[in-house]
Amino acid sequence: MSIPVTNLSIIVKAVESRPAEAALPSSLDDAILHQIARDLRLIELSCTVDDSIEPPLAGPMYLILHMMQSQSEKLKGKAKFQLAEDSLQHWLQRYMFYIEREIVSRAIKMPCQFDSDDLMNEIEQGILTTM
């Protein structure tokens, strides 16, 4: 399977000015979903196996930050927050988990709304407890 290079402008158009839920794996179209999955895997490999890999960070980071900013604004009335590098690594791993689950759900044609709810709950708890 050939996956095209991630195009950040397409991702931005898909989620900007929309609520956090627009960046959930279940809301992404197949092309973006597979691009983000590939990018997240390259990020993981660059951190664990081969530090010479220069992974494309922009797409996954944009989607995660969009969800966190939107939820921060919703929960705290302001979109301002700070995210330490170790916290960003945590959210990249959590997002990868849910991206991979969404790919499998689509492959077997059995969507799971609980995954979206769980990810949003994790983000909300992260915002309320650490930011």
Q: What is the 3-state secondary structure (H, E, C) of the chain?
A: CCCCCCCHHHHHHHHCCCCHHHHCHHHCCHHHHHHHHHHHHHHHHHHHCCCCCCCCCHHHHHHHHHHHHHHHHHHHCCCCCCCCHHHHHHHHHHHHHHHHHHHHHHHCCCCCHHHHHHHHHHHHHHHHHHC
H or E element: which one contains 84?
none
Residues 6+ away with beta carbon under 8 Å from 110: none
pTM of the model: 0.90
Q: pLDDT tens for residues 36-66?
A: 999 999 999 988 887 888 888 999 999 999 9
pLDDT value of residue 24? 97
Q: pLDDT tens for residues 68-111?
A: 999 888 887 765 667 888 888 999 999 999 999 999 999 999 98
Q: Which two tokens stand for residue 131?
A: 């930011």
Residue type, 28: L
Q: From CA 83, how far away is CA 62, in angstroms rounded?
A: 13
Q: From CA 23, how far away is CA 72, in angstroms rounded?
A: 14
